[in-house]
Structure formats: structure tokens, C-alpha cells
Structure 1
Amino acid sequence: MSHAYVLVEHTDGALDEVTAELITAARAFGAVSAVVVGAPGTAAPLAEALAAAGADQIVAAEGADVGERLVLPAVDALSILASSNPAPVLVPSSPAGDEIAARLAVRLGSGVLCDVVGVNADRTAQQSIFGDTISVTAAVGGECPIYAVRAGAVDAESRPGAGELVTLELPGAGEKDVRVTGFTPAERGERPALAQAKIVVAGGRGVGSAEGFTDIVEPLADAFGGAVGATRDAIDHDWYGGQYQIGQTGVSVAPDLYIGLGISGAIQHKAGMQTSKTIVVVNNDEDAPLFEIADLGVVGDLFSIAPALTEEIKRRRQG
């Protein structure tokens, strides 16, 4: 039976949203084996949610030292599985995911496609390239083609699977392993992660200051239950944290709704957000390039429009 492997992303005992998206995409190839890499006992609490998302098989790839190692445990797990029973492999497109994909391609002797936005049953994939200005269909060789799929590019569709739980004992660390000697987790707020958010409100140079983000951008994002993003200009001015930069050298987003406040629309920023399903732009410059790809453009003062929109969203949600 045709099948595919999916690398499960999980945080603090819960599935990341991208996992359901990967499982949905992998159904194009047949049955889905969801591979959970972690310390002993990691997979069992995730089994019910994975089965509900559509996993036909859940592979508990666990080892006592996984938490002290970087990247290679996932590479080990996927290469062991795909070597014995070849099939396509899907991983999330991220700094870690892209490295896992590359290392896995070398081990398996198969090609890899990064920044994928869709896969097909014939093992081809859609990619959005050259700063998301061109869409192409690509294919690579090998028995186990590897796809690094962009978060938010595939709409997750829950379709319950059998969820059969099997175990895979991982090999221990080797001489080439990078070991973690200390770890301080990043503080995670109540907003959704930027790369996976369904609604993103982004601010640019037109926001004017750090206070513009706290007083204008953040309240609107919170009214929608969305994430906050920023342009390179805003980051360079120290108005917002660098981890929230959207663009070619930052985070790529593809939310259901993107709202850009005071953003002119440099190509580097557009490259990271123009696959958003609905784009709304507010800017007092009617010639701003971001209007060219907007579904709705508002020429006006964001300092009046955004707070009014925030209050209207709050009113409708309370009503």
C-alpha cells in the first residue's frame, strides 16, 4: 500500500498546527505514518490527536538522550524507516526542518524540495519561488523524495485514521552529535506563533515607533486573536523584536488574513507574505507597492483607522 512519512512537530505535549497540515498533504501519497521523535513517553499522549488528524500509524521514535541532541535524532528515525520501507517524507519548512531534509536526502540518496506549498499523488510538488513571484511544479528523483512544506500553505482537514502505535528505538549519540549543555526556553505569549497564525497584523515604518506597535498593532492583533509581525525597517529601528520580522530574511507567513499597517511593500517583505489568502492594506500613500497585491486597500491614517477597527471587532465579538 502506498504511504508517506510525516515528521511530527510538538511542543510541551501538544501538537503544533503544522503537523495536521503535513498529514493532510501526505494523504496524496496514501496511508500516513506520523513519526514522533522525543524522550520515552512522548508519543503516547499525542496518539489520540494524531489519529484524529488522520495518522494511520504512529511511530514512537524515542530515546533517553533525545532532549540533549539537535537534529540528528529526527534524521536517524526517518532514515531508518525510509531505508527499510521507502516512501515520500514530509517535514515542516523551518531552519531545523530544512536541515533535517537536507541530511536525510544525503542518507537516502533521494532529492529534496524546500518551501513546498502543495504535493501531488505523482510525487511532484508546487513551489512558490523568486520571492513568491512565480509558482512552479517540480519533481526530484529517488525512492524517498523529501518535501519541506511551508507552514500555513496547506489547509488541515481532519480525517480520522487508525492511529496504530508502534515503537522505534533510536540509536544513541555518536561522535558527530551536537549536544545541548544548557537550555533556556523562549517565553511564549498568548498569541499564536507567527509562522502558523491564521491571522497576522503587521506593522511597518509608517507605525512610527515602538509605542505604535504596543498601542495600535498589538490591540488589533489581539482583537482578532492573531499574531503580530513587523517589517525589516521596524526591526532595524528597534520598534519590535527581530523574531517577528516577516520577509525574505525573516519568517514566511501564509495566513487566512494578513493586515498590513503602514507598510510600503518592499519586495523583501512581500516575499514573506504574498501567499496570504486575504490581504488588507492601510497606508496614507496611495502609491505604496503593497496595494498592488491587496484584496482590500484603504488609503488613510492608520492611527485613526486601526483603533476604530479594533473597537468594531471587539464590539461584534462581544455582541
Structure 2
Amino acid sequence: MSVLVFADHDNASLGDATLAAVTAAGQLGGDVHVLIAGKGAQGAADAAAKVAGVSKVLLADDVAYEHALAENVAPLIEGLMANYDAVVAPATSRAKNILPRVAAKLDVAQISEAVGIVDASTFERPIYAGNAIATVKSSDAKKVITVRGTAFAKAATSGGSASIENVSGTGDAGVSTFAGAELTKSERPELTSAKIIVSGGRALGSADAFKTVIEPLADKLGAAVGASRAAVDAGYMPNDYQVGQTGKIVAPQLYIAAGISGAIQHLAGMKDSKVIVAINKDEEAPIFQVADYGLVGDLFTLVPEMTSKL
């Protein structure tokens, strides 16, 4: 069996979720190849070649793939699938946009957000907002799979010596253009790779409260800052800070939830954290059901107090 991993990268380096996808691909058996599609992406290709378990890196370096437009990248993957039994990608926004198109073109059912590989045809994936795990078996000749990066160990970034092969696709399909991106720049760790996360909910009441209450604690801990969907919808924090089923799935060593009640969709995104600390004035809040430690009280008093003692 041969498996193609569609890499999530920034042209210079690989995303951590891609390393988890390499591990998942290895569990399917056979050779693991990594596809780097981008512009000026030699750095990412070099990094992929060093990843343990990777036997070949395919580099599609073209201006058409610079911004990972699905209309351009999906045909590239579809063409390459003639030589592969499965394509695996991390369940990131980029792959969620591209792989369903690949599955449709190949006329197969996509297996989304797999958290376990039973064998080459059988997979485990969460349903009901993560409250149950379904075991699904696919009889499709070609498998199209996205995997949760928090469910698989990250492949080692050294020890590999894969060859790099240049490939080409159909180029620009001419049906979409990249208009621009509004990116949040921060010196704090990225949410999906952070070992510690401090998240705030709607109870904070404003964006200023995030800056004066949540961010000082995060800075003391060297943590990433997250937010509930309610806080994001209220405009307190940008979309890319959202933790939850409709945001980012995280599993840090320590997750501190301040003013978050614990809606099902939020719990689905963080309940695999190793240690969960909940701070909420409502002792009946659902978040306490999954928390390892709970503080019942006013977050505007308790969080600054925690910060002052660090």
C-alpha cells in the first residue's frame, strides 16, 4: 500500500499537525510520501524529507499553489492519486477545504477527523460532538482521510532521508483568485501546538478584559490564548482563537478555562487536554464535569490572583 500525505505548511516549515498525519499514514502500512504544494516551498520540502517514516517528498512549486486555493490544489492531488491507495491530511482548515473536493472527484466517501487506525480499511472517528466513537469500514478502492492532529503522536522531525521529486499539476484553474488574508500575529505559541492554553469565555464581557485578565496569565505561563465560540461571536477575540468543534481541536498539557460554561461544542475541542482547570462562578457549570481542578468564584478576582502568585 502507498499513502500520500498532503502537508499543511507555510512554505518554510511543516505544521505540527502534518507530523501527526505522517504517523497516521504509517499505521496504514506501506510507503509514505508527502506532498508539498506551494510557492517557494523548498524549505518545507527539505523539512519533510527529514521526517522519520517518510520515503519520498513530492514538491509542487508553482504560483498556482501559493495560497492553497482548493480549486487549484484538488486537481493536483486527484492526478497524483493514480499512484496511491490513500491520501491522508491533518484536519486543518486547509485540508477541510481541499480533500472533500478530491473525494468527490474520485467518487469515494471521505473519512473525516479519524482518531484511530484499526487497519487499512477501518477507522475510528468521533460523532455526537465527541461523545461517542464510531468505527467505520470503507470498501472504496481509494481512501481519502483527514486525521485529528491531537489523536496521533507527532513523527520525529529528524532521522529521515527521503528523496525530493518535483511534480506538476494542471496549474491555475482560473476559477478563483486570492484576494487577501487578515492574520493575527502573536509571539505566543500557536493554539494547536501549545503545551499550555488559557481560554476565556463570554463571561469576560469585552476584548479589554481578555487583555487585562487572560493575557497576563498566559504570558506568565508562556501559554497560548484561546476563546469560546460565544466570546468569538461577541467579537472579544478573532476567529482563529476559537477552541471547539467548530474552531480548533487542542490537547495541551494544561488547559485553563476561565468564564467558560462548557457547551458541548467547546468540550469537544479541548476535553482531551491532560489537565483541565476550570474557573467559573456557577458551580453547576458543565465545564466542572470534565475538569481535573475547579475554582468556583469570580474570575476577575481569581485569575489576577493566580497571575500574581506566579
Counterpart position of 1:6 = 5
C-alpha distance in structure 2 between counterparts of 1:188 and 1:228, whole Å:
12
The one-letter code matched in structure 2 to 1:209 is S
Counterpart position of 1:36 = 36
For 1:1-319, list aligned pairs within 5 A: 2-30=1-29, 31-39=31-39, 41-42=40-41, 44-54=42-52, 55-67=54-66, 70-83=69-82, 85-158=83-156, 160-174=159-173, 177-180=175-178, 182-313=179-310
C-alpha distance in structure 2 between counterparts of 1:53 and 1:312, whole Å:
41
C-alpha distance in structure 2 between counterparts of 1:29 and 1:248, whole Å:
26
The one-letter code matched in structure 2 to 1:79 is E
CA contact (8 A) 2:207 2:237 kept: yes
CA contact (8 A) 1:86 1:143 kept: no
The SS at the match of 2:187 is coil
CA contact (8 A) 2:11 2:44 kept: no
- Deviation for aligned residue 1:290: 0.6
TM-score, with length taken from structure 2: 0.89
Compared CA separation, residues 98 and 233, structure 1 to 2 (3 A): closer
- Deviation for aligned residue 1:6: 0.6
The SS at the match of 2:210 is helix
The SS at the match of 2:284 is coil
Compared CA separation, residues 187 and 269, structure 1 to 2 (3 A): closer
CA contact (8 A) 1:37 1:61 kept: yes
C-alpha distance in structure 2 between counterparts of 1:309 and 1:51, whole Å:
44
Task: Deviation per CA, 1:265-296: give whole Å up to 9, x if none.
Answer: 12232233223333221222221111011122
Task: Determine what percentage of the aligned residue pairs are the same residue.
Answer: 34
The one-letter code matched in structure 2 to 1:34 is V
Instruction: Return structure 1 stretches of 4+ with deviation > 6 angstroms.
Output: none
Gaps of 5+ in 1: 314-319
Compared CA separation, residues 309 and 32, structure 1 to 2 (3 A): farther
CA contact (8 A) 2:49 2:164 kept: no
Compared CA separation, residues 241 and 99, structure 1 to 2 (3 A): closer
- Deviation for aligned residue 1:209: 3.3
Q: Which moved more, 1:145-154 or 1:205-214?
A: 205-214
The one-letter code matched in structure 1 to 2:134 is V
The SS at the match of 2:112 is strand
The SS at the match of 2:145 is strand
The SS at the match of 2:269 is coil
Task: Deviation per CA, 1:131-183: give whole Å up to 9, x if none.
Answer: 111112222232221111223332213163331111111222235x3122x32
CA contact (8 A) 1:152 1:196 kept: no
The SS at the match of 1:37 is strand
CA contact (8 A) 1:63 1:171 kept: no
The SS at the match of 1:173 is coil
C-alpha distance in structure 1 between counterparts of 2:172 and 2:233, whole Å:
40
Compared CA separation, residues 53 and 295, structure 1 to 2 (3 A): farther
- Deviation for aligned residue 1:184: 4.0
- Deviation for aligned residue 1:185: 4.9
Compared CA separation, residues 94 and 68, structure 1 to 2 (3 A): closer
CA contact (8 A) 1:283 1:301 kept: yes
Q: CA RMSD in A?
A: 2.3
Q: Which moved more, 1:85-94 or 1:237-246?
A: 237-246
C-alpha distance in structure 2 between counterparts of 1:289 and 1:207, whole Å:
18
Count of residues in Structure 1 that have an aligned counterpart in Structure 2: 307
